[in-house]
Chains A and B, each alone.
Chain A
Amino acid sequence: MIPLEHIVVLSVFLLSVGIYGVLTQRNAIRFLISIELILNAANINLIAFNKYLSTPDGLGQVFALLVVGVAAAASVVGLVLIIAIYRLKKSVFTDDFNLLKW
């Protein structure tokens, strides 16, 4: 069996890629893609620890399921917001979203 820390390192790598995407992308849709990567990194950790540490019930799997639900809700609302702002500003780039500024 592979050591647990290798799975954790994989998840940390996925998290850093997501952070990089959130910090540098101009396009709001790619922003949401990066957020999905971060949430999946958290899920990999939950599943791996659930497998390797003997929890009596499937606590890690239950919470991974809940994270999937929250991620679905978040990306649905985010994409609808992007489409609504696109109708208003004709753009999906975050530099153009300055409606609440000035």
Chain B
Amino acid sequence: MDTDFLIDFSDLNAPVVYLAGAWVTGKQLPEVRIIQEAICTCINTVFLVPGDNFEWDSRLLAFILAAERLCQEHQKKLDISAFPESVQQLYDLAKAVPPNISSPEESHNHWTFLKSFWVGAIETLGFIGEMCIAVGRLFAGRSHMRAVDLLFCLNQAGPKALGILSLLSVLVGMILAYLGMIQLSQFGAEVYVANLVALGMVREMGSLMTAVIMAGRTGAAWASELGAMQVNEEVDALKTMGIRPMDFLVMPRLLAMAIAMPLLSAYSFILGMIGGGVMTTGMEMTLRMYLHQLLQSFSPGDVLAGCFKGFIFGLLIVLAGCQSGMNCRGSSAAVGEATTRAVVQAIVYFVIADAALNLMFYKLGI
């Protein structure tokens, strides 16, 4: 070991600690506890003194500060006047401002989780209320929304999502057909695969898959966009200009989603059925059989119900995305959190809303 230390107890009232060798970062250095004994025995002052071949960098000062803290705990003093002037200057600088003794604020509430959940729920209801009022203003013609923003959002929510949506819809259709084929062929009922694909896509998978894609794609993008605007004080700037952020930022997105989602869902139904068709004709059905069975298996009511689901999911995407974006406070980390929350919340909403809508359709006999 290059470093060495030696405690000289010759004067019990004022022990001297010699620090010899290289007291630099990266070397194996003794812990500050080694001078505990010296501190405990002395009457009021411990002397730290450089020894032979002495070298130093920040590591030494860290040691000295730690030793000083230890001394303070035992109400003793530390004398470092034997060190080079530069060491003493740095030491004085570090000691110039007394350290903060209070700790960061923490809530002492035991029900933090429940409380934040409750507050979140109330805020969400408030946001829904504000959105409703903003929609009312829109129809009353007193909204601050710009048509150009609506077009811009519509472009984001619609055409740009078509590629990924096509791919996933075709694949989901194929998966449904494949599963159905394996199971139904055991009963010789392969022909009903078409029913499975059609109803599966139209009533359930089509709108749900579309919603998940749009939540991950557009909802997250909007959450981070609004979050960044909030952090960058742009939302404050809007407010001070007398423009309501709800009208200016949220409404175009809400309308865009409300228009795009039913259409995208319908598009997804068609592609899913095509995917199913490709899979079944590749196995043991003719295209003619598939199409014949397919067209009999669903009614316009089913399509409407599916599109309605898509519409509701669209509103939920905007609710989750815009609310977490607008509530974003502080730093760039908050923007990331807002994005995560937007997607997670949206997916939770979908599952709940899907269950509720299915129950409603069942009771209404749709």
A and B physically associate: no
- The interface of chain A, by Cβ under 8 A from chain B, is none
- Point out residues on B near A: beta carbons under 8 Å: none
